[in-house]
Every structure is written in C-alpha cells, then in structure tokens.
Amino acid sequence: MVISSDGHATARMEDYTDYLDPALRDEFRGFCKVYAERGSHTFEERALSQRLDPYLVEEWNEKVIDAGRLEGNFDPARRVQELDREGVTAEVLFPDFGLPFELYSPLLAAQMGEPMRDETHVVAGNDAYNRWLADFVSYAPDRFAAMASISFTDVDRAVRDIRWAKEHGFKGVMLPHFDESLPLYAGAYDPIWRTCEELGMVLNSHVAISSTSTRWVAPASPPPHPVCMGPLFVAQVEFFCRQILDHMIWGGVLERHPGLQLVFTEQGSGWLPSKLAGMDYSYEGSYLRRDIRQVIKQKPSEYFARQCHLGSSLLTRAEIEIRDRIGVDKMMVGVDYPHHEGTWNGGTQNYLQATLGANEVPVDEARKILGGNAARVFGFDVDKLAPIAERVGPSAEEILVPPTEDLFPRGDVHKPLGGANIG
C-alpha cells in the first residue's frame, strides 16, 4: 500500500469564482484576465522554461501536458486515474501556488517587484480554495487526506476555520508564514494549537508554504543568470521552514500541547539526525542554564519522537541508506504530483526501486515508509484502502530489488545528504 505524503491539487483559476465571497467575484473576474496573460502554475510551460533545459520542457509538453496528465490537478476523476497508474493507493493533498488572487509564487513576485496579496485577499482565497478542495476530495474521500489552507492572523477566525475544516473531512492544517514579530510559539496562538489537539487535526509544514518568516528575498542586484536564483536562495527558504521545529520545541509548544502532531513535508530527511543531535547536546551538554528544564522538560529528540513526522516526499537513495538514523517509523514517501521533480515523472515504481530497492530495504520497513506511517499519522482507513492497494499497488518483488540501470541520472535520487532541495 503506497500512500503519498505529498500531493498538490488546485483549481483552474477561473473555477474558483463560484467558491469566492460574492462581493469579490467581479474583482476576481478582472484578475483572471490578468492571470490568463501573465500567471502560471509552477508545472506549466511558462514557469518551467525559466529553470529547465529546453529539451526537458519539450519532453514535459509531449509526455505530460499534451497527454492530459496535468488534468488531475483540478479533475478528481483524472487524479484517481493518475494514482492508479502510479500504483498509489491514497494521497495527502496540499495547496500550491496559483490560489485565488495569487498571480505568482511569493518568491517570484518578490523578484519581479509585484505586490503580495493583502490579508483580505489571502483569507478570501483560502476560503475559496478550501471549499473547492472539499468538493474535490468528496469524489474519493477514502483516498485523500486534505490539508486546509488557513491564515493565523486572526486567531479566533482561524479556530472557526479549523473547526469548519474538520467538519468537512479535512485531516490537517497547513502552517502558514509567521511574522517574526509574533513567532509561532507566542501564547497568542495557543487557541489554535488547543483546537488542533482537541480535534486531532495534524499540523503540516511544507517548504515554501510554511515559514517562521514573512520575508522574501528581492535582491537589488540580479544574479548572473535567472536560474541562479534557485541555488542562491533555496537554502534560506528551507531554513525558515525547518526552523519551525526549533520554534515548536524550544518555544515550548510541544510541551504545552503534548497531543499535537506535526509533519515536515518536502524538506528532505537527511538533516534530521544531526539537527536532533545538536539540539539534544544544547539541552544536555552545553552551558545552557539548567533551569531550562522547568519549561522544556524533555530532550528535543523525545519531543520529536512523540509528536513529529516526516513527509519525506522525494526520498533520496542516501536518505534510505541512513533510514535507521532518521527513523523508519517517521519517514513517509511522497509522489509530489503534479510537479516536474515528482516521482511520477519517470514512474513512481521505478523511483521506489531506485531508492528503496537500491538499498534492499526489508519488506517490513518498506511497508512503513511507503504507507503504514502515513495511514497512522493521517488516519487513513486501511481496511477500506486494502482492495485498492491489492489492485494497483506494486509488489515487493517489483520494487525492493536493486535496479539494473540508472533511470534517474538527474533529479533527487542521487542527491547527497544535505543537498539543496532543488528539483
């Protein structure tokens, strides 16, 4: 049973119209005209041509866009076909860039000097997206675990939105960007953590969507080539996302709310062993005042073991090799549909063989990484999913043996530990 911990679903921009507050629909129709001229999803040709070689864009157009495979981003029936094709039984669903009133991704908007959405449009866009996603998931509710997109600026409203999401079948809540003047460990957010704890709603952080900072790099001096923007600034984006772990542990959130469950998605896994070792050393072996134990009562690694999980997504061969140090009970594979770097671009079963198979992972460990951990964390009903897994899922003989050739000379398979998260 393969359960993807990382998938994205968004509507075609104009399709959000009926899900928006009626008072904003005329304005939105005007925005859609601008979006049609200038906007783009990260997986469409207009965006991909900025970072991929022309021959790869041509292959993508021929094998993916022209073949209609991107239709699964907005059409749940086509999405289920894509899941079946990839041998995936179920999937965790996230938003993506291209939400209502969002012309570009925040990083690209900063580079181009474009204004960000204000809070009114962020909230309206989130509401429309969540309503749309609830309808999308209703097509196959047993196969999808939806993550709600919610602004935390108004805490009371956020609590109401979380309760709405729970009532409409969502399994978790996306962590947004937090202003550094009011970090996520501030007591003001405790009602949100209590609500998630009470309702069993997972907190999910995703690179570029979640952050401990609202800052986006807008350098006055451009890089020598536009593609250099990724290598120059991806580490900063990853840092602010991974720093959520520091805020949750050293800020006392996990101590105050022991029932919270926190997932780190598409941020890699190889950074965890040294990160936790360093945090534990700060707690036990450094010159930190010992009375820190009055508020942080356990070692950081103990909080992680109790409450944290890894949407490892595009697992690398190197990460699988050190899976015992990362935590076999923590790692969850992700397909990352519909992004170019996802496992489905080249075949998910091939990708699993190139990573798990190359390391000859035992069946019991593979079952946890491929689906067991995700089923537990997100509350999938494995009894209902079992017939689907039997029909579409790969066999151990197909994926847990070393490959005879290198099917992924580029991409994440061979990425070294600590390598930048650039697909």
Considering the domain boundaries, does residue 410 fall inside one? no
Containing domain of residue 222, as a range?
Answer: 3-399
pLDDT in tens, 354-408: 999 999 999 999 999 999 999 999 999 999 999 999 999 999 999 999 999 999 9
pLDDT at site 235: 85
Considering the domain boundaries, does residue 411 fall inside one? no
Considering the domain boundaries, does residue 414 fall inside one? no
pLDDT in tens, 313-364: 999 999 999 999 999 999 999 999 999 999 999 999 999 999 999 999 999 9
Express as a percent the part of the chain with pLDDT over 70. Answer: 97
Grade residue 259 by pLDDT with cuts at 50, 70 and 90: very high
Grade residue 41 by pLDDT with cuts at 50, 70 and 90: confident
Grade residue 109 by pLDDT with cuts at 50, 70 and 90: confident
Report the number of distinct structural domains present in the chain.
1
Residue 134 contacts residue 169 (beta carbons within 8 Å) = yes
Grade residue 129 by pLDDT with cuts at 50, 70 and 90: very high
Considering the domain boundaries, does residue 196 fall inside one? yes
Grade residue 234 by pLDDT with cuts at 50, 70 and 90: confident
Interval 46-64 mean pLDDT: 92
pTM of the model: 0.96
Interval 286-303 mean pLDDT: 97
Considering the domain boundaries, does residue 324 fall inside one? yes
Considering the domain boundaries, does residue 366 fall inside one? yes
Considering the domain boundaries, does residue 415 fall inside one? no
Grade residue 217 by pLDDT with cuts at 50, 70 and 90: low
More confident residue, 217 or 98: 98
More confident residue, 147 or 228: 147
Considering the domain boundaries, does residue 284 fall inside one? yes
Interval 27-54 mean pLDDT: 91
CATH code at 43?
3.20.20.140
Checking if the pLDDT of 282 tops 60, the result is yes
